[in-house]
Amino acid sequence: MGEVSGSGPRVVDVLTWDNFRVLCSRLAKSEDRGHWWFRGQPRFDDNLIPSLDRFRSFANDATREITIQRLLREFRRETGTVGFGATIPQGDAFELVARHHGLQSPLLDWTRSLYVAAYFAFVDADSTMEHSHVAIYALDRRVLRSEVLAPTIQGSRPAIELIDDPDLIAINRRACQQRGAFVRRSTITASVEELLHPALWKFRLHASEREFALQDLDQMLLNSTTIMFDLDGAAQTTNWRVK
């Protein structure tokens, strides 16, 4: 079924958009579909790295957590400067809002929809490069290892946290539109791929399928307008449609 590399994801060559549609159809008919989360990335060889860890390096988990809290405190201060302080939520909901507005974060965005994941995989894909591929990750939450979901010491965060409470994204229309869910990485002692093993699959599709895929998704009303749900998204959809 798939090629496994060490403790990384199980890689499956789907390759064409038609094959992907068959995969989606099979999942839709499966009783297990509610257990799966998905994430699309435009470059197959890129790893699952939260934005915080793409832009910064840390000596240990403690210094990383201190930086996260500093970022969140400073972001809350800045929201007051632009008149949003009183309307911004607390706790995890605040962290999700910050993530969606570009704050460097330990969170990775996921979705319950394979088609939404496909949109994110293809929308920024480079279809001009020969042999280029996109990646669509699939996470089977039933087989996540219990040790990565439990705190290592009392009061500490688990290595991996799954955030799927709809109340936490209720004020974030974009996350609701995307059927959003989140994975928080709380340790740098292992990669996200290692932490999610053996629950992680990685589907490989040709980037050259981009236009076909985006046209098909557009017919399903999955485009930058509906995914981003703002004027920037509407402009992106318009630019793509008008050749």
**Span 103-141, pLDDT tens digits:** 999 999 999 999 999 999 999 999 888 889 999 999 999
Q: Which tokens go with 129? A: 């490069």
Nearest C-alpha neighbor of 41 from the set 33, 32, 52, 49: 49
The whole-number pLDDT of residue 81 equals 87
Residues 6+ apart with CB under 8 A from 106: 50, 52, 53, 64, 68, 184, 185, 186
pLDDT given for residue 179 in this prediction: 92
> Which of left, alpha, beta for 104 (phi over 0: left; psi -120 to 50: alpha)?
beta
pTM, two decimals, is: 0.92
The Cα 126–Cα 204 span in angstroms is 14
Q: What is the pLDDT of residue 215?
A: 97
Residue 183 DSSP SS3 = strand
pLDDT for 1 equals 42
Please list the ranges in the chain whose pLDDT falls under 50: 1, 4
What residue has token string 């257990």?
35
Tokens 């958009």 label which residue? 17
